[in-house]
Amino acid sequence: MVITMIMTIAAMIMAVIADDAFQLPACGTSGRTIMVSREEPTRRAVLGTGMGLGAAAAAGSASQTDAQSAQKTFVLVHGAWHGGWCWRRVADRLERQGHKVYTPTLTGLGERSHLMNGKIDLDTHITDIVNVVKWENLRDICLVAHSYGGWPVSGALEQILDRVASVVFLDAFVPEDGQRGFDFASEFSRKGTIEAQQKGEISRPAPPATAFHVNETDLAWVDSKVTPQPLALAFSIIKLTGAREKVAKKTYIRAPAYPQPAFDKYYAAKKADPAWRTYEVTCGHDVMIDMPDRLVEILLESA
């Protein structure tokens, strides 16, 4: 629209310049013509108006560009069995637009899987998030939680609320005070947890990528990256005092192709709450892998 306005203004100015003078035949026999100028105030008024509108259009365009390119800071928290690796596509796209992105991998997972031990609980992962924000001295951040990440993100908000401008729950849990993950886990997750517990193991193996409804092209890649989830996390009770609801901007994104009754319940509740913004995406659970472009659009709208 701005470009169209500028082109229109340019055409107006050129028309005025071209018609600045017109010719009248001379009354004598000299064959000369007399150049008669139009009234100068009219010409100046048109040119002045055109220049003013052009400046306004340019200023408006610059303002719009500044607003779109204003640097934001994102902290993207992965879900169970995943790691910071799963955010690569989203992080690349955000960074190319000039934003800062942090994708911490929670203790015992991904490239930190060598730290796996029986003492890793929800408080450990809450501290992972809190420490990234504090040690990097981050402020006005958009904190994003995927799936299980909704648990440690909700807990972290109790400690870093003053540093968070917006929060996004991406097909994620939105726990309440006193709850534990095991009671809301999907059927395959509960089954894996019980089996691991009966064997006396400290972690539960990752399910195949097909369980997350990942697109066929990325199935092998996701299968090669997922790692066991610390078992104690499922039985850790979360302690909340309502910090999450105090965040100024709150968003919930649902990927309904992935069956999870708890997520459906969260989505319906947030959609009915004017304090929340909601979205649906037509892909599997790992939205950051299946639809990174669309997710980036939503994150920029929600930040």
Give the residue numbers annotated as catalytic, written as ranges: 147
H-helix segments, the chain: 2-18, 40-69, 88-96, 122-135, 150-160, 187-198, 219-225, 261-271, 287-290, 292-302
For 96, 115, 192, the CA distances from 187, given in Å and listed in that order, are: 39, 27, 9
204: closest CA among 116, 128, 90, 267? 116
CA distance 257 to 284: 6
User: In a 3-state reduction of DSSP, which class is residue 222?
Assistant: helix
CA distance 67 to 157: 27
Phi first, then psi: what are they for 136, rounded to 5°?
Answer: -85, 0
Assigned token pair, 210: 């097909």
Phi first, then psi: what are they for 167, rounded to 5°?
Answer: -135, 140
CA distance 112 to 123: 17
